[in-house]
Amino acid sequence: MSRKWVDRAVLALFIGMAVLLYASTASYPGIAKTTSANYVRFLAVFIGGLSAVQLGYSLLKDRSTDPLRLTGHLPRFLGLLAALAGFAVLFEPLGFFVSAGIFIPLVARMLGYRRKRVIFLTTAGVLIFVWLVFIKLLGVHLPGITF
């Protein structure tokens, strides 16, 4: 099986899950219909929308026939799993922003990015986006230090 078909199958699965997630908000009880449901709908629309864009791009432009190799980068994969576990462990005592501020640059380095300025700007951009959308726009309380 080629890598592009696995990617397309996963993207189609994400779109299906986003639709189901969005539809599930109709059964939220009471006040959750106006508070939590908006947050879940926001996530569903963006996950489904971005997956649809990527799937469309793949169908229109991707002509590669690279084979799927699951063990080609096993040490990198295990390192990413360890970093994710570290993020989960640090999340409670340090909060989201400090943990993500450590996790994002670490993962970028593990994936081979070396330009410090790009890593810094990406990390800052993600953290600012999360702060604007989740704290300011949606009013979601994230654990840890808030700005």
Distance CA 135, CA 131 (A): 5
The domain segmentation of the chain, as residue ranges, is 1-68, 71-147
Lowest-confidence segment of 26-30, 61-65, 73-77, 143-147 by average pLDDT: 143-147
Q: Is pLDDT at 146 greater than 60 in this prediction?
A: no
CB 59 within 8 A of CB 105: no
* Percent of the chain's residues with pLDDT above 70: 87
Lowest-confidence segment of 11-15, 68-72, 115-119 by average pLDDT: 68-72
Model pLDDT for residues 30-41, shown as the tens digit of each residue: 776 777 778 888
Distance CA 139, CA 144 (A): 15
Average pLDDT, stretch 42-60? 89
Average pLDDT, stretch 135-145? 78
**Over the chain, what is the mean pLDDT?**
84
Model pLDDT for residues 81-121, shown as the tens digit of each residue: 899 999 998 888 888 899 999 999 999 998 888 899 999 99
pLDDT at residue 133, as a whole number: 86
The position carrying tokens 């600012």 is 128
